[in-house]
Every structure is written in C-alpha cells, then in structure tokens.
Amino acid sequence: MTSRPSAEDIRRRLQLEPNQTCGFVRVSYTSDLQLAAGALASPLGAHRPVGTGLLFMVTPAAPVRLHRILNDQLYHYYRGDPLELLLLHADGSSERATMGPDLEHGQHVQLTIPGGTFHTARVIGDREWFLGGSTEWPGVIPSDVELGDVDALSARHPDVAEDIRSFPLPVRTAGGHPRLRRG
C-alpha cells in the first residue's frame, strides 16, 4: 500500500508557489495566441492571451481567498480532499458546491465559475490538501483579479453573510504581509 504524499511533496513536485488568492499556484499554460486590445468587449478589452491555465493547491492554512476574476473559470479536481466553495453571483444569489471525487454524493470534478463571481473555498474531509486546476478563455491577466470586501459582500448577500465570514479572511500585518483570520 502506498502512502498519500504530503502537501509539501506535491507543492515541490509541481513547483507551486504561494499566491494571494488561491493557496499555492503555478501557471501551467498561457496561449501563444494573443487577443489585441479592443478585440473583446469591455471589461475584457485589454490585450490578453487567448487562454490560460493553472495548477493550484489549497490547504487549511492556504485557502482560496474571497476574490473574483472577470473571466469565466473552469475548475478541475485532480487529487486530495474535497474543496467546499461559496459562490456569490453578481445578481445577488449565492451557491455552494463541492469539488471532489465522490460523484455519487454530488461532488464535482469540474465546475464553472462565471466571470465576475466572487468566490472563496476551503478544504474539507481529512482537511489536508486539495489539488486542482483552473482554465480560462480568454486568458486571465493580473488586472482581471479583484479581492473581495467581506463587509460589502456580506451586506449584498445577507442570506449567506455568516457563511462568508466563516471562511478564512485575508488581513494585512503591520509589515504589509497577508495572514489569515476567521471572520
């Protein structure tokens, strides 16, 4: 019987680095094909690759922090514990979903997160680590990413305000470095 690799083993093998929004990340694909500025309607009108992809790992200490990107994202489950997601849609609705291998109990191996949807996620189950991926068309550029304001989003989604606050929240230390706290 083989033992399960540790989060550190996976991070090292896949060269995953700490990320402000998604635990540990490595961009695994950026299309060589580029869309010229203005080729797409606003807000996606900036010069950008046709598509991007990344690998990411979430651990209890490194969750998916509350954020959104302009582009649609397709999340993929690869390995590890399930990932619980909270999605806050622009129309004021919300939904929960779980990424993981247990299809018989409603978990997803792929999940679309519509562009502009604030979302956050945490590892559940054995609570060790989740390994997944995300692909985007058109590709993501840094200006597409926005961290969420917990108070504003709680006010806009009062039915899940307590849930929003139950996920780890990024805060800045005196030195400007992010750390996590509970809402």
Please indicate, yes or no, if residue 176 is contained in any of the structural domains.
no
List the one residue out of 87, 67, 85, 69 whose CA is nearest residue 149: 67
- Give the confidence band of 125 by pLDDT, cuts at 50, 70, 90: confident
Number of domains the chain contains: 1
- Give the confidence band of 2 by pLDDT, cuts at 50, 70, 90: low
Please indicate, yes or no, if residue 183 is contained in any of the structural domains.
no
Q: Which residues pair with 59 in a beta bridge?
A: 62
Please indicate, yes or no, if residue 173 is contained in any of the structural domains.
no
Please indicate, yes or no, if residue 1 is contained in any of the structural domains.
no
CATH code, domain carrying 152: 2.60.120.10
- pLDDT score at 81: 96
Q: What is the pTM of this model?
A: 0.87
Residues 19-57: tens digit of each pLDDT: 989 999 999 999 999 999 999 888 888 899 999 999 999
Please indicate, yes or no, if residue 44 is contained in any of the structural domains.
yes
Q: Which residues of 1-32 are buried (b: 16+ CB within 10 A; e: fewer)?
A: eeeebebeebbeebebeebebbbbbbeeebee
Q: Helix %, strand %, coil % for the chain, to 5?
A: 15, 45, 40
- pLDDT score at 3: 79
Please indicate, yes or no, if residue 174 is contained in any of the structural domains.
no
Please indicate, yes or no, if residue 32 is contained in any of the structural domains.
yes
Check: CB of residue 95 under 8 Å from CB of residue 112. no
Please indicate, yes or no, if residue 23 is contained in any of the structural domains.
yes
Which residue range is the domain that position 26 belongs to?
7-95+103-167
Helix runs in 18-177, H state only: 150-156, 161-166
